[in-house]
Every structure is written in structure tokens, then in C-alpha cells.
């Protein structure tokens, strides 16, 4: 079965960096685009970024563009989110999610990880 496990969350000071990882198993990772979606405490869902199945294309939300970078290592079945210049408003649970179709860059999320909490605070 599909399994997504995020790691790398924690408490970080404003302006610092953090890298999240999402380890995937149970499916052919290299055939699926992968997304990051976040949820601030007690708030709704916000899409952050997507990377194509082969890593050739990336798209970002306006809030992430220029500060966050999504990448993947298909040999290790892992997707990453490098977050730089973090702000208090980036505090959220960050979920990785699989795109709902092979070789498709679309924003339908059919499987989600349990999430990693990132807290940006001095």
C-alpha cells in the first residue's frame, strides 16, 4: 500500500532554513508527480509546490516562490522541500501528497503523509 512519511520538521528561528523530506513506498515513485501542502494550526489547507515525476518541472504557490525549492531523488524514492528565509507565517504542518495519476502534473492529491510540523519562532 502507498505510504508517505515526512521528516525534518522542528522549531526554527525566523530567517533560518529547514529541509523537509518525504519517503515514499508502495508504488512506483518515479511515475508520479509529488506535492507539498501545508496547514497552519487550526486553519485550512494551502498548496505549496509540485514537482513532476522526472523532476523536470516545478511550480510554486506565490507564498513559496523564491524561498522554497522542491526536489526529488527517484533513486531513493524521496521528495524534498528546502525552505529558506522562514517567516512566522510559515508555521504549519507540511504534508507531502501524491498526484492522482501517473506521469501527470495535476493537482489532485490521492495519498497524503501524516505531516511534519514546522514552527518558526524566535
Partner 1 sequence: DIVMTQSPDSLAVSLGERATISCKSSQSVLSSSNNKNYLAWYQQTPGQPPKLLIYWASTRESGVPDRFSGSGSGTDFTLTISSLQAEDVAVYYCQHYYGAPYTFGQGTKLEIK
Contact residues toward partner 1 (CB under 8 A) are 44-47, 50, 59, 61-62, 95, 100, 106-115
**Distance of alpha carbon 80 from alpha carbon 69, whole angstroms:** 8
Residue 122: CB minimum distance to partner 1, A: 28
User: CB count, 10 Å around CB of 88?
Assistant: 11
Residue 103: CB minimum distance to partner 1, A: 16
Residue 99: CB minimum distance to partner 1, A: 9
Q: Provide the sign of the torsion angle of the four alpha carbons 86, 67, 105, 51, taken in this order.
A: negative
Smaller CB separation from partner 1, 82 or 101? 101
**Distance of alpha carbon 118 from alpha carbon 120, whole angstroms:** 7
Smaller CB separation from partner 1, 42 or 75? 42
Amino acid at each position: 500500500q502507498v505510504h508517505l512519511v515526512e521528516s525534518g520538521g522542528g522549531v526554527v528561528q525566523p530567517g533560518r532554513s529547514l529541509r523537509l523530506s518525504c519517503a515514499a513506498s508502495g508504488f512506483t515513485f518515479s511515475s508520479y508527480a509529488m506535492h507539498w501542502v501545508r496547514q497552519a494550526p487550526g486553519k485550512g489547507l494551502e498548496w505549496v509546490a509540485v514537482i513532476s515525476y522526472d523532476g523536470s518541472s516545478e511550480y510554486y504557490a506565490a507564498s513559496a516562490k523564491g524561498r522554497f525549492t522542491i526536489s526529488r531523488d527517484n533513486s531513493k524514492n524521496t521528495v524534498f522541500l528546502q525552505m529558506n528565509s522562514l517567516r512566522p507565517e510559515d508555521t504549519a504542518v507540511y504534508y507531502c501528497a501524491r498526484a492522482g495519476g501517473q506521469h501527470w502534473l495535476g493537482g489532485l492529491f490521492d495519498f497524503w503523509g501524516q505531516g511534519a510540523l514546522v514552527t518558526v519562532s524566535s
